[in-house]
Amino acid sequence: DGEIVAGIASVNEAAITGESAPVIRESGGDRSAVTGGTTVISDWIVVRITAAPGYSFLDRMIALVEGAERQKTPNELALSILLVGMTLIFLIAVVSLAGLGRYAAADVPVPVLVALLVTLIPTTIGGLLSAIGIAGMDRLIRHNVLAMSGRAVEAAGDVDTLLLDKTGTITFGNRMATEIIPVPGVSERDAARIAVEASLADETAEGRSILALAREKFGITADADGLAGASFVPFTAATRLSGVDVGSRRIRKGAVDAVKRFVQSVDPRATTGIAAFDAAVEKIARSGGTPLGLAEDGRLLGVIHLKDVVKPDIKERFAELRRMGIRTVMVTGDNPVTAAAIASEAGVDDFIAEATPQDKLAYIRTEQRHGRLVAMCGDGTNDAPALAQADVGVAMQSGTQAAREAGNMVDLDSDPTKLIEIVGIGKQLLMTRGALTTFSIANDVAKYFAIIPALFIAAIPELGLLNVMGLHSPQSAILSAVIFNALIIIALIPLALRGVAYRAQPAAQVLGRNLALYGGGGVILPFIGIKLIDLAVSALGLA
């Protein structure tokens, strides 16, 4: 979006690249490009805007979000087809009754046919769908997750693949000190004490984490009073060093090559500890961390290991997702070495390194073309297109506004493993809807065979064998069916709101249970309910 024309600065590009480590940007050369939405951490730069209006990075992200389109879930398509199909079948059946009535010299009035159609079409499940969706959204709120629609909760029940952004989602998003590796001849405690002195004036997350590590591991507390008369050296993008000067002592920490140059400037012949220093740097780099050198005057003291720390207990939660049949994929802008290290520590099934927003979007669309439902957890502006395209887009509350607006859920706790609860609630919603759909279909079929004999028994006496309920009259049969149809929706609302209990069972077992309980209930209940209402209607002389 712009070109640096003067100055040098340390820039945090996590919102764009997803990588937590800040980068150096300076005028001239190949490090002079900057992007809108990134943050200058230290020093200053003068930028000439090069992006035309409407073509900035954020504008391109908006275009990608607008081009994203969520597909209908298989369950949603199946239910739509079923409801439309059942409506058409009963419509044809009711229309054919008009001709049958004329043929049998038992003319059926149009109002009766309309009332019959209303009682037969699947109005029960149609009337309960909203209640089921709202109940699912309410259950998510109890887990501190805001769902924008019941459709999002439903899609969560069928998720096959979960994509997670690394920075801020799997990890905390800030590099934190996890260990201090001293060179031979320097104790770990002494190295930690000097690291604390060098970090007293460091207000960055890395500096504060060094103080926390020394306090928790060695019991060393920050004591600025013990450095009376000290001169603190702030970090700059030019020197890439920070530290403190106390009398004749000069303590520095910073980028490895910058620390080496500092040592050489103080003592050009200094060679003590260089081999161990380089070995520690290489070890940290191979593990995907960031090495931070530590020196005092002309002597290397050790290396501080900075890493983007994985959130606690996340590996066990991912294992639980795996047992639920959900494949986890980490996407990050980090290099492959860092990505592999974080993926191994977090316990994800796969990872995509150096991923751009377009890469994330393409991966989701590929998965969806293969018939899979995809959930995406993210927090950055660069995640917005993927969140908008995913069937379930869970944005972290700690993320950017663009991410929260693109997703169809917002996790107020910023916990990516919350998808376990989201999937469980989604599956409960699907089971509830499946159970009530089974009941509704059985209920409609039962009403058909309960009412038709009563309508035509006068014209076709042979239908008396099917009139097992012995309804009082055709008029009372229709009125009783209409009343029952209205009452059954009200009676089922508590079940729709409470939901059918979710159990991790094979699909065949769940289907058998639903057919036995809700299918059987849907067949039996209309005969009992309509008969009781018919007795009341007859007793009151309403028909």
**Spatial distance between the Cα atoms of 168 and 308, rounded to a whole number of angstroms:** 9
Residue 363 and residue 359: Cα distance in Å, rounded?
6
Query: 43, 158, 165, 415: which is the annotated catalytic residue?
Result: 165
Neighbours of 267 (CB within 10 A): 12
CA 261 – CA 125 distance, rounded (Å): 74
Which residues lie across from 290 on neighbouring strands?
306
Instruction: Determine whether 308 is an active site residue.
Output: no
Nearest to 364 by CA among 412, 406, 415, 422: 406
**Rounded distance between C-alpha atoms, residue 514 and residue 111, angstroms:** 35
Residues 364/64, Cβ–Cβ less than 8 Å = no
Torsion of CA 73, 75, 80, 84, to 10 degrees: 150
Please state, as a whole number, how many other Cβ atoms lie within 10 Å of the Cβ of residue 161: 22
Burial class of residue 133, CB neighbours in 10 A (0-12, 13-18, 19+): buried
Distances (CA, A) of 417 to 181, 222, 312, 394, 541: 33, 35, 11, 11, 61
How far is 328 from 277, CA to CA, in rounded Å? 37
> What is the arrangement of strands in the sheet containing 392-396, beginning at the earlier edge strand?
145-147, 409-411, 392-396, 374-378, 161-165, 327-331, 350-352
Enter the tokens of residue 235. 């970090």
Distance CA 534, CA 543 (A): 9
Report the alpha-carbon distance of residue 92 to residue 76 in Å, rounded: 24
137 vs 422: CA distance, rounded Å = 10
Query: Cα separation of 532 and 471, whole Å?
Result: 10
Angstrom distances, CA of residue 80 to CA of 74, 136, 153: 10, 19, 17
DSSP state of 68: -
For the annotated catalytic residues, the residue numbers are 165
